[in-house]
Structure 1
Amino acid sequence: MNYYLKEIKPVNSRSNKTGGAKIRDDVEKILSKQNFTSITLPNIPRLGNIDYISISLLNHYRVKRLWQKKMAFLKEGDNLVIQFPLIIQHSVFLKRVLKSLTRKKIKIILIIHDLESLRVTKRRDISVLKQFILNKEEKLFLKYAFKIIVHNSTMERYLIKQGFEKQRLISIEIFDYLISNFDIKKFKNRKISKDQPIIIAGTLRYHKASYIYHLPSDVKFNLYGVGYDEKIQQSNVNYNGAFSPEELPYRLNGSYGLVWDGDSTYSCTGIYGNYLRINDPHKLSLYLVAGLPVIIWKGAAQADFVRKNGCGLIIDSLDDLKKLKDSISEKDYLLMKKRALKISLELLNGCNLKKIIESLN
């Protein structure tokens, strides 16, 4: 039998106008359509102050007991899909659970959304204890997984260097993007053309995307997302507000979707900028599902995907945007748009994850 772990998110843990939960929800919908049954893990409210060690350990123990109870019925030959990182990060005692599952010859299929060892644990505001727990959790789940679904070939090579066998790793290349009750009329109503502004969508908070406050002045931009400080908005920037992940594709008006992150417009720098070297940013899926050609940093892992599929442009510095944008003919732009629309159909139908799941059966 095939199962997937469904973690119930804590109340108000995520804004409904960010994409953080979108990718997990889409995975669950695709798995359900592939006849996977959910094993629901309810949110366990924390006891006391998490910084108080004895209470913290008790929270971790309660999570372990919940996992044991919920998974006791699994038997040899069953498949269990787990999305990683976990939403509820109380995993200190989960080694015993994972070990027990593998001993029973239950196959754990891990879908990687983020490698926190390369992202969160690099932040200065993260305590040493939390860094230790996150790193330990990551190694633990990777160790006991039968198969690991990674973002791309770059992430695959990174994990091989970390000692994980190539045959355990499967690259998804790009994550799907489902839209419930897709409305083709709303989709066609947008202004998508070569001469429209460049789109930047996603989390616009300063700590993640401070480059947006230093954008080149010779190109116009349309911004969408949470956390933007309109007090320091440039004259060539139009902020359009934040929308739910399923509404956002209908709202994107522009020429290209920009895949960029970090502190600088010269290159993708800082923790989040460098993270683009290995991960699949969900905003790439967002732009392509919206039928938009993209512009992506040349150092990003997904630059290979864009190049291979001919659905956008590769750029070194944002200072080159105007020159690059002006160099593209109308014919070439329409061809990139056509290719983006072709990929859009695949993402809307969950084709990428479906293909992997079918190959495992």
Structure 2
Amino acid sequence: MNKYQIVEAYGRFMHAGSKATNDCSAILNQAGFKPVTVTGVIDKKGLLAKIYRQWHYYRDWRNVYQTLEAHSILVLQHPFRRRQLGRFRFLKKLKKQKKVHIVSLVHDVELIRNIYELSFYQKEFRQMLAYSDQIIVHNAKMKEWFIDYGVEKERLIDLEVFDYLNQEPLDKKIAFSPSIVIAGNLSPEKSPYIYKLEDLAPLSVELLGINYEPKRKSNNIHYKGAFPADEVPAQLNHGFGLVWDGDELSSCSGATGNYLRYNNPHKLSLYLSSGLPVVVWSQAAVADFVKRNQLGLVVDSLYDLQAILNKITEEEYLTFCSNIKKVMQSMQKGDYLKRAVNSSLPRYKDQ
């Protein structure tokens, strides 16, 4: 059985996507999925540049069609965020003429998130449904959304949680602290709730990341700076990693907050793969995963958090840390994605 994956590359960067997509490419490579590259051309304005760019895409997708043998398996990562001439045509042709089994791994569903202009993503989503034999979705809540949308449940595979490749040792020492840590993009546009965290004083909040723009100094907020992505896990060595989004502290609100009801935030995987217990919103899709595996705290409102943390003992905290070890190891090995992809193979063999 021949196994392939599409890897998008831009310019000299052979893996120009996010940490999530790059990790998935690496894990699929470990699992024997040979990369076939679709190379983007650096954006330039003008009609000739556009024609050249789309010709380049067409050439690469034609090469994908020519490279794959009949009855191969092909894994794609969605959504595609650029128009690419030939993509839909050759994927449909692979499915119809070469009987290639196409598995789509979903990173985001923009129809749910609803923060971008939707016409492009509506078309991209319909095309994914048209050529995908099976679709790997984040969790049970997202699976329910797809079923309500009209996708047959037999086509859907529950990833459960995203893997996160890092080198943190399994015996890493995590220190008990009744405090929270937030790592990521700290811009007011991306994470507006962060600029209200002073209201939670005396709760101690540690921030790591780019684009932090405080208007005033707050005694309970401690900004530690920005670090290269591969150095962030080592900084996560005490307290609880917070998974939150939206405008408010009382609930996860707005489009990005509502999205937590369906998606697996990559931030959750960053914390857990680094050995850190977490705090998540009670209505988030990942709350079930956290509760089932006893990986941290589930709260309705951040205003409740100080009182809850005051009751947590060091013994209870270290139990969370112990429970995380198994998940941590699985994430670092890429086990969640490997399991999801492998679950599609027996179905393919029976066809």
Please report how far the alpha carbon of residue 293 of structure 1 lies from its aligned counterpart in structure 2 after TM superposition.
1.1
Please report how far the alpha carbon of residue 208 of structure 1 lies from its aligned counterpart in structure 2 after TM superposition.
1.9
Please report how far the alpha carbon of residue 349 of structure 1 lies from its aligned counterpart in structure 2 after TM superposition.
1.1
For residues 26-53 of structure 1, what are the alpha-carbon distances to aligned partners after superposition, in whole Å with 9 as ceiling and x for unaligned?
A: 111111111111101112234534xx7x
1:110 paired to 2:104: yes
**Paired position in structure 2 for 1:63:** 57
**Paired position in structure 2 for 1:23:** 20
**Paired position in structure 2 for 1:184:** 169
1:41 paired to 2:38: yes
**Paired position in structure 1 for 2:91:** 98
Counterpart contact for 1:222–1:253, Cα < 8 Å: no
Counterpart contact for 2:104–2:135, Cα < 8 Å: yes
- 2: CA distance between counterparts of 1:330 and 1:137? 48
Counterpart contact for 2:10–2:41, Cα < 8 Å: no
Q: How does 1:1-361 map to 2 (within 5 A)?
A: 1-9=2-10, 21-49=18-46, 59-60=53-54, 62-87=56-81, 89-91=82-84, 94-103=87-96, 104-119=98-113, 122-123=114-115, 126=116, 130-179=117-166, 182=167, 184=169, 188=172, 192-195=175-178, 197-215=179-197, 216-361=200-345
Counterpart of 2:307 in 1: which secondary structure? helix
Please report how far the alpha carbon of residue 11 of structure 1 lies from its aligned counterpart in structure 2 after TM superposition.
6.7
Please report how far the alpha carbon of residue 93 of structure 1 lies from its aligned counterpart in structure 2 after TM superposition.
5.1
Counterpart contact for 1:199–1:253, Cα < 8 Å: no
For residues 112-162 of structure 1, what are the alpha-carbon distances to aligned partners after superposition, in whole Å with 9 as ceiling and x for unaligned?
A: 01111222xx33xx5xxx521122112211321111111000000000111
- 1: CA distance between counterparts of 2:193 and 2:51? 40
Equivalent AA in structure 2 for residue 292 of structure 1: L
Equivalent AA in structure 1 for residue 92 of structure 2: K
- 2: CA distance between counterparts of 1:106 and 1:301? 32
Counterpart contact for 1:222–1:254, Cα < 8 Å: no
Please report how far the alpha carbon of residue 318 of structure 1 lies from its aligned counterpart in structure 2 after TM superposition.
0.7
For residues 240-286 of structure 1, what are the alpha-carbon distances to aligned partners after superposition, in whole Å with 9 as ceiling and x for unaligned?
A: 11223321110124311111001111100111111101000011111
Counterpart of 2:226 in 1: which secondary structure? coil
Q: Considering fraction of residues, name the structure with more strand.
A: 2
Question: Over aligned residue pairs, what C-alpha RMSD do you find?
Answer: 2.4
Equivalent AA in structure 2 for residue 90 of structure 1: R
Q: Which runs of 4+ in 1 moved over 6 A?
A: 11-15
- Under a length normalisation based on structure 2, what TM-score does the superposition of the two structures give? 0.90
For structure 1, the 5+ residue unaligned runs are: none
Q: 1:317 to 1:13 in 2, by over 3 A?
A: farther
Equivalent AA in structure 2 for residue 98 of structure 1: L
Counterpart of 1:321 in 2: which secondary structure? helix
- Under a length normalisation based on structure 1, what TM-score does the superposition of the two structures give? 0.87
Equivalent AA in structure 2 for residue 2 of structure 1: K
Counterpart contact for 1:311–1:340, Cα < 8 Å: yes
Please report how far the alpha carbon of residue 94 of structure 1 lies from its aligned counterpart in structure 2 after TM superposition.
3.0
For residues 34-87 of structure 1, what are the alpha-carbon distances to aligned partners after superposition, in whole Å with 9 as ceiling and x for unaligned?
A: 1111101112234534xx7x9757754642342123332322210111111125
Q: 1:244 to 1:13 in 2, by over 3 A?
A: farther
Equivalent AA in structure 2 for residue 324 of structure 1: I
For structure 2, the 5+ residue unaligned runs are: 346-351
Counterpart of 2:177 in 1: which secondary structure? coil
Please report how far the alpha carbon of residue 294 of structure 1 lies from its aligned counterpart in structure 2 after TM superposition.
0.7
The count of aligned residue pairs is 341
Equivalent AA in structure 1 for residue 74 of structure 2: L
Identity rate of aligned residues, in percent?
37
Counterpart of 2:37 in 1: which secondary structure? strand
Counterpart contact for 1:203–1:209, Cα < 8 Å: yes
- 2: CA distance between counterparts of 1:14 and 1:207? 26
- 2: CA distance between counterparts of 1:56 and 1:161? 38
